[in-house]
A and B are shown apart, each in its own frame.
Chain A
Amino acid sequence: MREQRKFKIPIGPQHPALKEPESFSVALKGEKILGVDIRLGYNHRGIEKACEERTYVQDVYLIERICGICSHTHSTCFVQAVEEIAQLAVPKRALYIRTLVGELERVHSHYLWLGVAGHEIGFDTLLMYTWRDREAIMDILALLTGNRVNYGINTIGGVRRDIDSAQTKEVLKAVEQLEERTHYYIEIATEDMAISKRLSGVGMLPQEDALRLGAVGPTARGSGVNRDVRRDDPYAAYEELSFDVITDTHCDVYGRTVVRLKELLESFKIIRQVLKNMPQGPIAVKAPRKIPAGEALSRYEAPRGEDVHYVKANGTDKPERVKVRAPTLANVRTVKQMLKDRFLADMPIVIAAIDPCFSCTDRMVEIKNVDSEKEKIISWPELRSLSIEWYKAQGVDFTKLNKKLGNV
């Protein structure tokens, strides 16, 4: 009954499988994919150009908004380059805090990815579970930095917020809870029949192809490429921390899933070490407004892979050139290879398996009170209690559920 004629279907720029505008034009024969044309650039916002017209400090916040998920990645990568040019000695404590936030970000990103992957293979239950658990890490990030995304913790010369012992305790508590959940998800992903059926052998990327195409991050490590900037080109506090680089030789989506899940456990390890070994001292040094002429290349292991920033300074308070290479750009070419002769049904998960970036929403809302015409800004706890009250009025009580989950 399958139609044997060739035809082309547009996946994107708008399509339920994609959370971000990209266009994949897929040539199909029946259910088989003959070829894929990838058209990117729908999200090009001219940030590199805009950076040249703003001061370094402004750029930190602009660059943080490149991506909603790995915002800390980009801002850290950028400030590292600027600090290198200006030859600032960033205090150790600041580096540790950066590492901490970076790893928390990796945890939330991998959790997010796991949920999206579940959704792409039609397993929404996994999505709901992982995203529920992810809330714990979002809360921790909000506690440490004041924001759930776009943390704004980096500044040139250090970080903007210190961490105290009460916060440390909260982080450890959340990490413990999440570690338990992660073991559970590893069990699900490796033992569930339907999941392994959908992931095994799908999106094959042999090691030589991964190397040839320049894949980075979990995409490369899932193909047995032992490459991790945190170990190879250590930045922040990674030189003083011990952790393993997870690789897997399955070379398929399953391998990438396993890599991400095991990386979560490594992240928890790193977070514990960071909190234990965090040195005392100042959290920032004062940075000059004008950065001396020079250039630097900074690399950072984002949750999705290697993030590269190149900054050239010309002695003024504005950079001459800022170049950003996000990990997805390095990985997107592998998709073409992975989709060859596969089924249309594999397309969403194969695309999702490189973990393409997409933006998150902000948590602050402005409420306009109709009567008084006054704008009111609601904070996150207030917003949360408001919503709980609302549900209570609808006859739904979360207190029992919360108790069961242990996050009272």
Chain B
Amino acid sequence: MVGSIFSVLLFPGFLFVSVLALYSEFIDRKIYARLQNRVGPPWFQPLADFIKLLAKEDIVPEEANRNMFNLAPAFALCAAVTAFLYIPLWSFNSLCSFGGDSIVVLYLLTIPTLAFFIGGWYSTSLFARIGTVRSLTQLVAYEVPLFMGILSAALLADSWSLRDIAFFYTQHPLYILLNSIGFVVALISLLGKLEKGPFDIPEAETEVVAGVFTEYSGRNLAFLKLSLNVEMVVGASLLAAVFLPFGLNANPLAGFFFFILKVSAIVAILSLMRTITARLRIDQMIRFCWKYMAPFAILQLVINLILKGVLLR
């Protein structure tokens, strides 16, 4: 009992994932800054920002629905952290695991977006409402390629369980290469999910101020930001577990090192992508997702179906 509370709350649960989230925010910001020829923040900046925000006044708009407004950040954070518990990190065994956990993780990852929607909608700010409508519109566009990308990898491994998928690809390392289209599609979809890079449309600063987050301040904002960062870590470790399952059978210390490396690499790729692109418009983003991403995801699916029939008889 005490052991599982320890795992859920401290390691590798809530506290660990929060630290990791701050770390990946630092990686993201530093790389973003260096690529833009800026100095970038010192390593403790994300933590300092978090602490500072906690100390700030928490303002709830008069018109807003108080409960919904205050609950949304908690929802988002809890869902993201819960998803983390199902992902194999540095060994095949994740904290919780069952036959269909890949589906559960994907759905848990959707909840933060919905929580942002609820928070933004009930804050009644016009900018936040436009932001929420945008983030839901965007959800419809990136969710399908992301699911298909990950599920086609699962298809080849013949299991819905992340643990079995990772195990399968460790047994057959070359098969990882077969999923490369799916990996790219999932990576780009992840940008949409994290509202980053060319897909930061819901919080486009020059259009809708901060979108969903416009009315948030203080503690609530701190947790919203943290949950976004946790989402980034969860997304990165999910992709790492499915598409790059190296080092899972090594000894725990090397595995841990590999895990951090993989997450950092994925975060670095995400920040590279957001450095080199301009923000798309919502209609362009949706067209892009359905015109290019979804067909490529389907292609991957078809390839894997055929391969499964031919290779794994």
Q: Is there any pair of Cβ atoms, one from A and one from B, under 8 angstroms apart in the complex?
A: yes
| Chain A contacts to B: CB under 8 angstroms | 1-3, 7, 9-10, 15-17, 28, 30-31, 118-126, 128-129, 132, 192, 194-195, 197-198, 343-348, 391, 394, 396, 401
Interface string of B37-55 (1 = CB under 8 A from A): 1110010000000000000
Q: Which of B1-9, B149-157, B197-205 contacts A (4 or more CB under 8 A)?
A: B197-205
Check if A129 sits within 8 Å of B204, measured CB to CB: no
Contact indicator A122/B278 (Cβ below 8 Å)? yes
Complex contact A122–B133 (CB within 8 A):
no
Chain A residues near B129 (CB, 8 Å)?
A: 3
| B209 contacts partner chain A, Cβ-Cβ < 8 Å | yes
Of A122, A391, A396, the contact of B204 (CB 8 Å cutoff): A122
B130, B207, B275: the one contacting A348 at CB < 8 Å is B207
Contact residues of B between 255 and 277, Cβ < 8 Å to A: 275-277
User: B residues bordering A, Cβ < 8 Å?
Assistant: 35-39, 42, 126-127, 129-130, 133-134, 136-137, 140, 198, 200-201, 204-209, 275-284
Question: Which A residues are in CB contact (< 8 Å) with B35?
Answer: 125
Docked pose: A343 CA to B134 CA in angstroms: 12
Within 8 Å by CB of A195, from B36, B37, B278, lies B278
Given contacts A1-B133, A16-B209, contact A128 B38 (CB under 8 A): yes
Closest A residue to B281 by beta carbon equals: A345
Nearest CB in chain A: distance from B98 CB, A: 32
Could you list 11 further interchain pairs (A-B, Cβ under 8 angstroms) beyond the known A28-B130, A346-B281?
A1-B140, A3-B129, A16-B206, A16-B209, A17-B207, A125-B275, A128-B38, A194-B278, A344-B207, A344-B208, A345-B281
In angstroms, Cα B278 to Cα A343, docked, is 16
Q: A9-B130, A125-B36, A129-B36 are in contact. Are A347 and B207 (CB under 8 A)?
A: yes
Contact A343 B281 (CB under 8 A): yes
Contact indicator B207/A198 (Cβ below 8 Å): no
Residue pair A391, B206 in contact (C-beta under 8 Å): no
Asked if residues A1 and B130 are in contact (CB atoms below 8 Å), the reply is no
Q: How far is B282's CA from A52's CA once the two chains are assembled, in angstroms?
A: 51
Residues on the A chain within 8 Å of B275, using CB: 125
Q: Are B277 and A123 in contact (CB under 8 A)?
A: yes
Whole-angstrom distance between the Cβ of B1 and the nearest chain A Cβ = 44
Complex CA gap A15/B129 in Å reads 16
> How many angstroms from the CA of A122 to the CA of B129 in the assembled complex?
20
Residues in A with CB closer than 8 Å to B201 are 345
Closest chain-A Cβ to B285's Cβ sits at a distance in Å of 10
A-B contact pairs, 26 of them (CB 8 A): A1-B133, A1-B136, A3-B133, A9-B126, A17-B206, A31-B282, A31-B283, A118-B278, A120-B206, A121-B278, A121-B279, A122-B206, A123-B278, A124-B36, A125-B35, A128-B37, A128-B38, A129-B36, A129-B37, A192-B278, A197-B281, A198-B279, A198-B280, A343-B283, A396-B39, A401-B37
